[in-house]
Amino acid sequence: MLQKKTFTIDGMHCASCVKILEKALCRVEGVDNAVVNLATTQATVAFDPKRVTDEHLKSAVANVGYHAQLGAEEKSEDEQTLQKTKELKELKIKVAISLFFGLLILWGSFPQIMETAPQILRNFKVMLLLAIPVQFWAGLSFYKATIPALKHRTANMDTLVALGTSVAFSYSAIVTFFPGIIEKIGIDPMPYFDVSTIIIGLILLGRYFEARAKAGTSEAIKKLIGLQAKTARVVKDGKEVDIPIEQVAIGNIIRVRPGEKIPVDGVILEGESSIDESMVTGESIPTDKTKGDTVIGATINKTGTFTYKATKVGKDTMLAQIIKLVQEAQGSKAPIQRLADQVSAYFVPVVIMLAIATFAIWYIFGPNPVLLFALLNTIAVLIIACPCAMGLATPTAIMVGTGKGAEMGILIKDATSLETAHKVNTIIFDKTGTLTVGKPKVTDIVAGDKIKKDEILKLAASIEKGSEHSLAEAIVTHAENQKAKLYKVSNFKAIPGMGVEGMISAKTVSFGNTKLASLRQVALGKWAKNIETLEAEGKTVMILSVGTKLIGLIAVADTPKESARAGVKELIKQGIEPVMITGDNERTAKAIASQLGIKRILAEVLPAEKEAQVRQIQKEGKVVAMVGDGINDAPALAAADVGIAMGSGTDVAIEAADITLINKDLRSVAAAIDLSKKTMRTIKLNLFWAFGYNVLLIPVAMGALYPFFNILLNPIFASVAMATSSVSVVTNSLLLKRWHKAK
């Protein structure tokens, strides 16, 4: 009987690795089949367990230069969750027992209430018996972490807790067995087992809450991973077969029925449907798609049935890229963390030194009984110090912030981008395709006296046929709709930022903007008035000329996106100046900008000049974000302080941009900036709390308030403060989950 095994392979980079590994594994005698998934870097092998061992598989993988995590290295999918659940369960029991025993000891030893306690609880040896399991079973983890750390000459919070509680426990044990010695030095022989046990109980309780809260910070990534479909219905030889997602290959034809999840990215071949892409793009309204449209894996097909061709599988799908990006962002370090990094390197040793100093000061200068004061204050210093809060302040907020962004279709490249984004005060929008729909349409054709409008369109479309410009597409499509027969064009030439020209019937025909007209010495004459009127309406006017004679005009307009005005308004509300950059002339640009509420325009900018324009605005002292499609604007995006690529999930866009907005809703730009501001506010608050807590309370624990107000910090209260400190930092980060886009 065949057995199936899934294991992780290290060192895979590309699709060819998949092939090599599959071949190598299939070649092992006894292996029935092997499927390798690049996205998860896992192999699933079906084999005869009598003939194949882990070693066989491992060496087959090693022979082709990879490493299989088999045997002791095997990882199950949700190992982290399982381990965490187990740990939390154990922790809960430890907390309950520690606090129960601790409270019993407290009842038997606390001055005002001990009289009500049964006699047995007032017995020091019984207290010791109750304290031992708490100290050495519940508190074992503190020792287990401290001893190897000391071997490496490092220390952490566990070291401080182990030291503090050991001091309390040891002193109490001495009191229990040798009360005479303590009495001789003038101290009432009372043990402090309540201090050691309750501190352990409370710190473990804090850890329990902290672990639960921390699990919430990585929820977004788990949700994203959970979105992936498990199977795909592939059409092969006219039959539909359900196959595992790992086996779907590029070019496979896949059928999707209503209510089903689309397995991988692709292009619709047949059928139409409404698709809910909210889980990937954050776009709440379902999108209607038909033949030729692209579909995204992991989105839900709502109404129709369609077949589509898989174009991206494995690690190339949009979902896999999003997961990778979010994981990377969550692993990155924010510049603001630097100070916490530096402090944390010295923190624990400095606290230990302060604890020693506290002991000496109280022993030498303190009131009687000096030893008791010195010991209790030393324990308070060791226990109150909370380096964890400083360590958790930034990364937890980054994790929640980037995760929340991903849920809304806002992908943040790293913590540095997030940090820079909150300082942005100017946002430059590329006009075409970003502020506008990007599908311009012919609105007006103006012909000269002796020529028909159809002829103008025919000539313009013929010459534009060879161009890749979006305006060219509008003209050619318009001509095709009119069923115009196009001319043959020779010597076609595109002049960037100006237009196109070529030879038709041995005559030079040029078609472009006024710059091209002036370059070719075409006089505008009476046409200038027409051009002015059309441009004032926000239309882009192109001039058709034969030789140096102007024979007609074609106006093309691109409509602003529905969300553009609201998106710009949101930014202005946040105090950010929106700027529009375009190749259009000033008048056309102004008309569009005024519709959207944008006051500053950078018009007639050639594609290659965009980067320089970005730098120019930076020179004014502005922190600039540039919003573009991420492909044509890559240099400008890279030059900006924050490059925002919009409406695209391609590799190029993600590479070039600091923030990628998967949906095309312009309000996402303001939302991304707002999210960065909120995340940074959370980080600052966390750091302020974490630093402030330690800076204020360590001196209090040392007894700084005693000379003035007779106030000393009981070590038990120190442990309450310490336990709540890191929990409150993580909880504050989790509050970011409540952030939502402005509606």
Partner 1 sequence: MNADDILVAIFSFLGMAFTYWFFLMKKEEVVSVTNSVNIIVEGGYSPNAISIPQGKTTKISFTRSDPSGCLEEVVLGDFKIRKFLPLGKKVTIEVTPKKKGDFSFTCGMNMFHGKIKVV
- Residue 458's identity, in one-letter code, is K
Give the rounded distance of the alpha carbon of 19 from its chain centre.
Answer: 31
What are the E-state strand segments in 423-516? Answer: 426-430, 441-447, 490-495, 499-504, 507-512
Name the segment binding partner 1 (CB under 8 A); options: 14-22, 55-63, 142-150, 506-514: 142-150
CB of 363 to partner 1, least distance (A): 5
Site of tokens 């599908």: 439
SS3 call for 473: helix
Contacts of 238 (CB under 8 A, 6+ apart): none
Binding mask 312-351 for partner 1 (x = CB under 8 A): ---------------xxxxxxx---x--xx--xxx-xx--
Q: Least distance (Å) from partner 1 to the CB of residue 705?
A: 22
Is 641 among the residues that bind partner 1 (CB under 8 A)?
A: no
Give the nearest distance from C-beta 150 to partner 1 in angstroms: 7
By the rule CB under 8 A, 660 interacts with partner 1 = no
- Per DSSP, helices labelled H in 490-563 are 514-519, 527-536
Considering only 155, 213, 408, 579, the residue that binds partner 1 (CB under 8 A) is 155
What does the per-residue mask of binding to partner 1 show for 400-439, with x meaning CB under 8 A? --------------xx------------------------
User: Any idea what DSSP says for residue 608?
Assistant: G
149: contact with partner 1 by CB under 8 A: yes
Nearer to partner 1, 75 or 184 (CB): 75
Minimum Å distance from CB 246 to partner 1?
21
| Cβ partners under 8 Å of residue 44, min gap 6 | 4, 5, 6, 34, 35, 36, 37, 244, 246
Of 203 and 498, which CB lies nearer to partner 1 in the complex structure? 203
Q: What span, in angstroms and rounded, lies between the C-alpha atoms of 174 and 253? A: 79
Give Cα separations from 686 to 438, 508, 691 (angstroms): 43, 68, 8
Query: Does 150 help bind partner 1 (rule: CB under 8 A)?
Result: yes
Strands (E), 245-389: 253-256, 265-271, 273-276, 287-289, 294-295, 300-301, 306-312
Which of 70/640 has CB closer to partner 1? 70
Residues belonging to the chain: 743
Q: In what order do the strands lie in the sheet with 624-628?
A: 410-412, 659-661, 642-646, 624-628, 426-430, 577-581, 600-602
Q: Indicate which single residue of 191, 201, 387, 440 sits in contact with partner 1 (rule: CB under 8 A).
A: 387
Nearer to partner 1, 86 or 257 (CB): 86
- Of the pair 165, 252, the CB lying nearest partner 1 is at 165
Q: Under a CB-based contact definition with an 8 Å cutoff, are residues 79 and 123 in contact?
A: no
- Determine if 695 is a binding residue for partner 1 (CB under 8 A): no
Could you give the string, one character per residue 158-177, with x where binding to partner 1 holds by CB under 8 A and - elsewhere?
A: x-------------------
Query: Residue count at the site for partner 1 (CB under 8 A)?
Result: 61
Min dist. Cβ of residue 59 to partner 1 (A): 17
Q: Distance between CA 623 and CA 637 in Å, rounded?
A: 13
Q: Which is nearer to partner 1, 98 or 663 (CB)?
A: 98
The DSSP 8-state label assigned to residue 560 in this structure reads B
From the CB of residue 239, how many other CB atoms can be counted at a distance below 10 Å? 7
Binding status of residue 496 toward partner 1 by CB under 8 A:
no
CB within 8 Å of 373: residues ≥ 6 apart: 362, 366, 367, 703, 712
Residue identified by tokens 């030291």 is: 163
Phi and psi at 136, nearest 5°, equal -110, -5
**Catalytic residue of the set 316, 430, 629, 674:** 430
383/636 with CB nearer partner 1: 383
Q: Is 212 in the site for partner 1 (CB under 8 A)?
A: no
Residue 309: phi and psi, rounded to 5, are -100, 130
Alpha carbon distance 556, 499 (integer Å): 14
State in angstroms the smallest separation of the CB of 352 from partner 1: 5
Q: Is 59 near partner 1 (CB under 8 A)?
A: no
CB of 87: closest distance to partner 1 in angstroms?
A: 8
Assign 56 to helix, strand or coil: helix
Q: Looking at beta carbons only, is 249 or 360 nearer to partner 1?
A: 360
- Pick 145 or 451: Cβ nearer partner 1: 145
435-474 footprint of partner 1 as x/- string (CB under 8 A): ----------------------------------------
Which of these ranges, 95-103, 105-113, 304-312, 385-393, lies near partner 1 under the rule CB under 8 A?
A: 385-393
User: Residues 62, 147, 523, 528: which binds partner 1 (CB under 8 A)?
Assistant: 147
Alpha-carbon gap, residue 514 to 531, rounded angstroms: 9
Residue 6 touches partner 1, criterion: CB under 8 A: no
Encoding tokens for residue 619?
């020179």
Q: Which of 459, 386, 387, 411 lies closest to 654 in space, CA to CA? A: 411
546 binds partner 1, rule: CB under 8 A: no
Query: Is the alpha carbon torsion for 216, 143, 384, 684 positive or negative?
Result: negative
Measured from the CB atom, the residue of 121 and 352 that comes closer to partner 1 is 352
Give dist(CA 101, CA 105) in Å, integer. 6
Spatial contact of 94 and 138, defined as CB atoms under 8 Å apart: yes
Strand partners, 47: 3, 31
Catalytic, 54? Answer no
Among 58, 94, 207, 431, binds partner 1 (CB under 8 A): 207
205 or 310, CB closer to partner 1?
205
Of these, 123, 154, 368, 616, which contacts partner 1 (CB under 8 A)? Answer: 154
Binding mask 67-96 for partner 1 (x = CB under 8 A): x-x--xxxx---xx--x---x---------
Which CB sits closer to partner 1, 337 or 663? 337
Tell me how far apart the 2 most distant CA atoms of the chain are, in Å. 123
Residue 303 is a binding residue for partner 1 (CB under 8 A): no
Minimum gap (Å) between residue 382 Cβ and partner 1 = 12
CA distance readout (Å), 200 to 126, 132, 158: 18, 12, 11
Minimum Å gap between C-beta 63 and partner 1 is: 16
Applying CB under 8 A, among 28, 213, 392, 476 the residue interacting with partner 1 is: 392
- Asked whether position 14 contacts partner 1 by CB under 8 A, the answer is no
Count other C-beta atoms under 10 Å from residue 210's C-beta: 23
DSSP per position, 617-634: HHHTT--EEEEE-SSTTH
By CB under 8 A, name the binding residues for partner 1: 10-11, 67, 69, 72-75, 79-80, 83, 87, 141, 144-158, 207, 211, 327-333, 337, 340-341, 344-346, 348-349, 352-353, 356-357, 359-360, 363-364, 387-388, 390-392, 395, 414-415
Please give the positions annotated as active site: 430
